[in-house]
Amino acid sequence: MQNKNILFRANSSSTIGIGHIMRDLVLAKQHKDSNIIFATQDFKGNINHKILEAGYRVELLKDNSLYEFQKIIDKQTPALVVIDSYDIDYNYEKQLKTRNPNLRLLAFDDTYERHYCDILLNHNISADEKRYKGLVPKYCELRCGAKYTLLREEFIMQKKSKTLFIAMGGADHSNININILEVLKEFEYIEVNLVTTTANQNLEQLKEYVQDKDWIELHINSNKIAKLMRVSDFAIVTPSVTLNEVFFMELPFIAIKTADNQEDMVEYLIENEYTVLESFDDKELRESIYNLLKPKLINFIDLSLEDKKMVLEWRNHPTIRKWMLTKEEIPLENHLSYIDSLKTKSDRVYFLVKEQDKPIGVIDFTDIDLIQSKASIGIYAKPNLRGVGNLLMQEIINYGFVKLKLESLISEVFNSNDLAIQLYKRYGFKEIDRRDNMSIMELKNENR
């Protein structure tokens, strides 16, 4: 039977602070199938109670000696020990490894100290693995930078969560609010603002359903509907007066028909290719939500003239153009001619990326070589739009490695473009060459 014990060695107190334990708890949560134990001292002002509240065991140490710690190791027989303490140094770690040769050791570091460990973790965004040359054994795995940053669940929730506005009519004659919520609970990181009124005959049942679900906020007789729509990412509504309001607020939506007098609106929505369910169906709703949430890649050759013009405006914007190899503004005629030429080119493809029907950026694949299984890539976000780099990069990797089944993605990045280089490194790209003022970055497909 595989040993799944992981032993964390860290302290907290009024003078040490609580940061070590808090980040260790985040790391521990990533090992859901392991048995987590903390070895810590009982200092004044410690937060050992946080460890217990998280459901993990605590082993108290009398002091910081290796002798004391070895007793815990002998008792718990961990496969991995995580060291997160400034009071434990290279010599301590080496003695620990010598006494326990089969033990894997992970050491936290953020000050570029010498370590004797199997894995070194510096999760600060500024971490530079090159600075650890000569400070760790040659076999040591380096985990440095934003890719490994340990974030508490509350931050991940805020980054990933999507807020949904639901209105099935003040009276909810169809009584499908709970059915909709049952589908939504299958999706991670969705928060719901559900609006209804005291005219809802199923209100008590609805109140009972939501009372233990902190991801649902029930609004009864609200006079702040517009505000709730404004802070939402998309909506599920009936094709009625509320849909007119959602449409005005430019909120992506799924409409569910609940009455015969909505037929005219339903026909309009279908004709104009909006998402509409002619009756509630959990499978159809689940698929519609998934399609609404996932980014859409629209091939440049399929763009409308307006979208083609929009993309050109982005590309010619000073904040984008300064990072292009060709820094001159491109005329519309040349832009349209190039897009038209893509119809006959199999070695390149350009996409406009939309999230919930909102354009957020462009990704491209050029010099696609299926024989050598590689391609050059490019990426830029809508000017002045922040926070979408990760999503665009995920789409590049997914299309390149899953759709095209490539083994290598390559990008040329200006050395001075710190944000771009940081993004590439976050996703595992390595610098393989330098040419003048450019870094040549490559990502290998680890699944090939």
Nearest to 20 by CA among 65, 64, 50, 57: 50
For residues 299 and 358, the answer to whether their CB atoms sit within 8 Å is: no
CA distance 408 to 411: 10
Q: What angle do CA 293, 360, 398 make, to 5 degrees?
A: 60
Residue 254 burial (C-beta neighbours within 10 Å; 0-12, 13-18, 19+): buried
**CA-based end-to-end distance of the chain:** 29
Question: What six digits make up the tokens of 80?
Answer: 């991995």
Half-sphere exposure (CA, 13 Å, Cβ side) for 364?
A: 19
CA distance 104 to 118: 6
Nearest to 249 by CA among 160, 167, 161: 167
Residues 6+ positions from 316 with CB-CB distance below 8 Å: 329, 330
Point out the residues that are catalytic: 20
> Residue 252's CB: how many other CB atoms inside 10 A?
18
Phi, psi (rounded to 5 degrees) for 299: -60, 135
Question: What six digits make up the tokens of 392?
Answer: 């665009």
Q: How far is CA 34 from the centre of its chain?
A: 24
For residues 296 and 354, the answer to whether their CB atoms sit within 8 Å is: yes
Give the H or E element holding residue 86.
none
Burial 372-392 (b: 16+ CB within 10 A, else e): eebbbbbbbbbeeeeebbeeb
3-state secondary structure of 44: coil
Question: What six digits make up the tokens of 160?
Answer: 């990933």
Q: Where are the alpha helices (DSSP H) in 238-277?
A: 241-248, 263-271
Question: What six digits make up the tokens of 205?
Answer: 């049942």
Give the H or E element holding residue 189.
none
CA distance 374 to 223: 56
